Amino acid sequence: MDKVKRLTERIWYTDADERTDRPVLGYVSGDMASLMVDAGNSRQHAAILTDGVVAKGLAYPRYVAITHWHWDHCYGLSGIGAVSVASLETNLKLIEMSEWEWTDRAMSRRIETGEDILFCDENIRKEYPDRSLIDVKTADIVFDGLLQIDLGGVTCILMKLPNSHSEDSVVAYVPEEKVVFLGDITSEDFHNGTGSHHREKLGMLIEALEWMDFELALHGHDEPRSKEYVLDYLREELELLGEIL
């Protein structure tokens, strides 16, 4: 079955797979270079996208951009022969995680200290029956706030936005295709014990997305959605927190 799906003229993606919490991977095809959005949770995961695009006669990605530091979006980096790009904050976490040990003891200790959460721990164990294969890489290019990459006929703008899910999160916005890759930026905060949205940050994220000109959004663990769908969901979440727009 063809796992790489076409979204628009220049954009392809693979679906999320909840069995080991694999997120959506994206691909933007430029005339000069192409860019992969998120590296996936393992080499095997990344290869579904990279092998899939090459099989279609598309170029192997020159760049791979990471939306945020959570393992499922970046542990595939070691299997991708592309220039990796991440925000300053994301890269600091990559540096930290590159020194993590993967013994049972080290893993359960990180759950106790709150450095990691049980949901990720369980899925890492499923994705990596042999955890000695985990190889966390840091980024080749690090940016602060915003980075625009011209791929030839199409651009990708990596942009840090306020959000509840993870401080370091960026979206990958492709204005020519009116598409935005959200990573998990519209999700709740699961790493700081709350599992909910933060009212102020959510309000600012809604404003930013309202302003952005896009038609389709790809969340890391969902199917493609319209701008209206995403904003309706976020406004509902905000109302639940007691704020009326």
Q: Which residues bind Zn ion (CB under 5 A)?
A: 70, 184
Cβ at position 176, least distance to Zn ion in Å: 27
Contact assessment for residue 29 and residue 81, using Cβ atoms and an 8 Å cutoff: no
HEC profile of 60-78: CCCEEECCCCCHHHHHHHH
- Residue 185 forms beta bridges with which residues? none
Cβ closest to Zn ion, residue 70 vs residue 93: 70
Cβ closest to Zn ion, residue 89 vs residue 184: 184
- Give the Cα separation of 94 and 86 in Å (integer): 9
Cβ at position 71, least distance to Zn ion in Å: 9
Helix (H, G, I), strand (E, B) or coil at 142: strand
Could you say which DSSP state residue 23 is in? P
Cβ closest to Zn ion, residue 10 vs residue 190: 190
Cβ closest to Zn ion, residue 38 vs residue 177: 38
Within 92-240, strands assigned E span 141-143, 146-150, 155-160, 170-174, 179-183, 216-219, 225-226
Cβ at position 180, least distance to Zn ion in Å: 16
Cβ at position 166, least distance to Zn ion in Å: 6
